Structure 1
Amino acid sequence: MTGRPASPASTRTDHGRPPTLPGWSAVVPSTAEVPGLTALLRRHELAARGRAAATERDVETSVAGERSDLREHLVLRDEAGVPRAWATVHDRAAARVVISVVVDPDLERAVADPIAADLFAWAATAASDLARGRGVVETQMDSGSFEQDERQQAWLEAAGYALTRTWFQMSRPVTAEDPAPAAAVEPGTGLAVRSVRRGEDGMPEQTDLRTVHDVLEEAFTDHFNYHPETFDQFVTRLREDPGHRWDHWWIAEITDDEGDTGPRPAGALVGSVALGDGTGSEGSYVEYLGVLRSARGRGAAKALLATVIADAAERGRDRVGLEVDADSPTGAVDLYRSTGFVTSYVTQSWHRDLPVTP
């Protein structure tokens, strides 16, 4: 199976100009494109960050995963059929799309610059089309860059994006000395941390999954760039992650002032398996950690964090990773640093508000 050529009649590929380089082609990628796109993405990561981590599994999930219908792709191939640039538009939530533009770092700037401009223009038209389908009059285009990638930053600025946030990508080593999960919660805090319950069929209970969703939705309403997400969108998106595991979801509960219905939720953590680039051991990754405002100050975040670290140690993993807003108003950066996390690298968020025309 090969990628199908871009066609002016296709609403998924007619959002921008075709490539002007002789012999090049524009295609909507299929699974046959995955190895070449992975190699392209790894070259980009190596040049922009100093190390590559992308895997074929990650790329295949984006191109042909369970919710790949929420993403639009355009790949530019050179005259030899090698993918040299790749744009993705992800319909992430109402009034928000996530934009990715990757251009081969081996290309000269005289070639790469107009390619990047064309792909960002294509992405803007695609984003407008998606937003129109959502019935909104303005959508946020959310893209990003590694902190050291001046080339990508120049393209983003030229495409009308503005730097809005900086993120620390943090990691902590895990050793055999880390406590067992049962000892992760300090006594006397009035808290308990448990995994989401499973039914007889091995699947998680819907009530617990909804609790996790509801807690995180409320916990993040006062965070940077919050956009509401329905329960179905939330669960489906996380299940799509290659590192998804149901036994990496935890709920923190308040136990010292239980109501008529028993312990009440205080916070939640959704973790995953950090598969890395396939050359090293597995780690754990914190996808979400949120605490209800009414429960903050009781140590729920620390208890949840200690639980995922202890769980990683019990599984024989060597690290726990996470992303945190460098300007988080909740003191999250200090909490992570106090528990042994250090910054591995830094990323940036770039946003552009796009009016949607009829």
Structure 2
Amino acid sequence: MSPEDALPEDNRFVSDLEEVLPNDPGLPVGWEASTPDPANADDVARLTELLRAHEDAGRGWAGACEDDVLVEVSEHGLRMRENLVIRDGSGRIRAWASVHDRSIGRMLYVHIIERGISAGAADRCSEVMFHWAEGQAREVGAARGLDVQQIDTGAFADDERQHKLLEDAGFNRVRTWWQMSRPVIADEASLVADPEQWERKGVVFRQVRREGDGLPEVDDLRAVHDVLESAFTDHFNSSEESFAEFVHRLREDPGHRWDHWWLAEIVDGENGEPESAGALVGTVSESANGPDGSYVSYLGVLESARGRGVAKGLLKTIIADAAARGRDRVGLEVDADSSTGADQLYVGMGWKTKYVTESWHKDIPVS
């Protein structure tokens, strides 16, 4: 039985737009709200075009591909998501919104409007999309038994148009994130004895164990989930995510690979039982031109294990692994407002900020 079998058969959102939008949502004449068709190559290509243009306008370059869009709109993605598009009179998609039931009390939201349309048309599309998102927030909040449901969306730090749309809709900028990258050279493959498993001062760093069919041992996956849930309990905007939701979400990432998941275990004494101390979940960052990179999606260390070099050991492991695979970089995200001092570790190991993003939130009363 797969851990994902524990997910609800249907998502907690409303698929019928008539239940969430008014009869006349106020769009430009001839424009209409609908849902995208993941089986329609033109729809997927157009959403990819919109997403890439959004990235380019916000940070100066685009990195998204069709696989990133399919995470949001495919049948697999719709287990935990719902989507809305706005088409003009010719049927061309001009705007796209997506909601994701990420975890208890936290609904992620994507808000993308074509950059070339008039300010008036953009404002009207934005109002409809936010109205839809707030309706979906009430639905998912009610389904989870909550009084308040948070909408959590992001923006590039230099994207002034997006900031204005969010401010006009009542969102607040609540956090800043440094998106960092570190170059990797071939010689760094020897940073650790073997990225699959190595040991230092009573701490064993190893990949999650896999069965003969290549799938990981469920006990190891649960250990990774438990470490990350515990390590991030006191961090900004932490909310409980079930094991099934966790595995489902991380497997959706186009860069997901089971051999990029590591556990750190403390083994005290010659016959000591290994105890989970930290975990790192990595992914592949594919490149259209040039070598691929690796990315640190999650890095967590239990409080009881801090001071034993667990975080640094896990980072050295993914760097060595990237070098051995012929990759040229490792990326990660850092909470710029955190008091943990994690940024000092990353800077000390060679990471530099490439661009900056922000979290914007709005709380929606459910009843």
1:95 aligns with 2:102: no
The AA in structure 2 aligned to 1:284 is S
For residue 187 of structure 1, report the CA deviation from its aligned partner. 7.4
Deviation at residue 61 of structure 1 after TM alignment: 1.9
Q: SS at 2:57's partner residue?
A: helix
Cα deviation for residue 293 of structure 1 reads: 0.3
Counterpart of 2:133? 123
Which segments of 5 or more consecutive residues in structure 2 lack a partner in the other structure?
Answer: 1-13
Cross-structure match for 2:305? 295
Provide the rounded CA distance (Å) in 2 between the counterparts of 1:275 and 1:13. Answer: 39
Aligned partner of residue 328 in structure 1, secondary structure: coil
Give the counterpart letter for 1:47 in structure 2.
Answer: A
Code of the residue aligned with 1:113 in structure 2: it is D
Paired residues of 2:103 and 2:242 also in contact (CA < 8 A) = no
For 1:11 and 1:135, the matched residues in 2 are separated by 21
Give the aligned CA root-mean-square deviation in angstroms: 1.9
Quick one: structure 1 residues 98 and 24, their matched pair in 2 at CA, closer, same or farther if it must change by over 3 Å?
same
Which amino acid in 2 is paired with 1:297? Answer: G
How far 1:19 moved relative to its partner?
5.2
Identity, in percent, stands at 52
Question: Does structure 2 conserve the Cα–Cα contact (< 8 Å) formed by 1:29 and 1:74?
Answer: yes
Aligned residue number for residue 151 of structure 1: 161
1:254 equivalenced with 2:261 (yes/no): no
Query: What is the aligned partner in structure 2 of residue 331 from structure 1?
Result: 341
The answer to whether residue 273 in structure 2 is matched with residue 268 in structure 1 is no
SS at match of 1:182: coil
Quick one: distance in 2 between partners of 1:125 and 1:222?
Answer: 29
Q: Which residue of 1 is the match for residue 32 of structure 2?
A: 25
Contact conserved, 2:198 with 2:204, CA < 8 A, in 1? no
Paired with 2:250 and 2:75, the residues of 1 have a C-alpha distance of 12
CA distance in 2, matches of 1:247, 1:275: 16
Q: What amino acid is aligned across from residue 182 of structure 1 in structure 2? A: A
Q: Letter of the aligned partner of 2:28 in structure 1?
A: L
Task: Answer yes or no: is the 8 Å Cα contact 1:19–1:25 preserved in 2.
Answer: no
Name 2:361's counterpart in structure 1. 351
Asked if the contact 1:189/1:299 (under 8 Å) is kept, the reply is: no
Q: Structure 1 CA distance, aligned partners of 2:334 and 2:205?
A: 22
Secondary structure (helix, strand or coil) at the match of 1:178 reads helix
1:96, distance to aligned residue in structure 2 (A): 1.3
Three-state SS of the structure 1 residue aligned to 2:274 is strand
Q: What amino acid maps onto 1:338 in structure 2?
A: G
Distance 1:326 1:221 in 2: 18
Pairwise CA distance, 1:338:
0.7
Corresponding residue number in structure 2 for 1:47: 57
User: How far apart, CA to CA, are the structure 1 residues paired with 2:237 and 2:251?
Assistant: 22
Q: How much has 1:259 moved relative to structure 2?
A: 7.1
Question: Quick one: structure 1 residues 175 and 21, their matched pair in 2 at CA, closer, same or farther if it must change by over 3 Å?
Answer: same
TM (normalized to structure 1)? Answer: 0.92
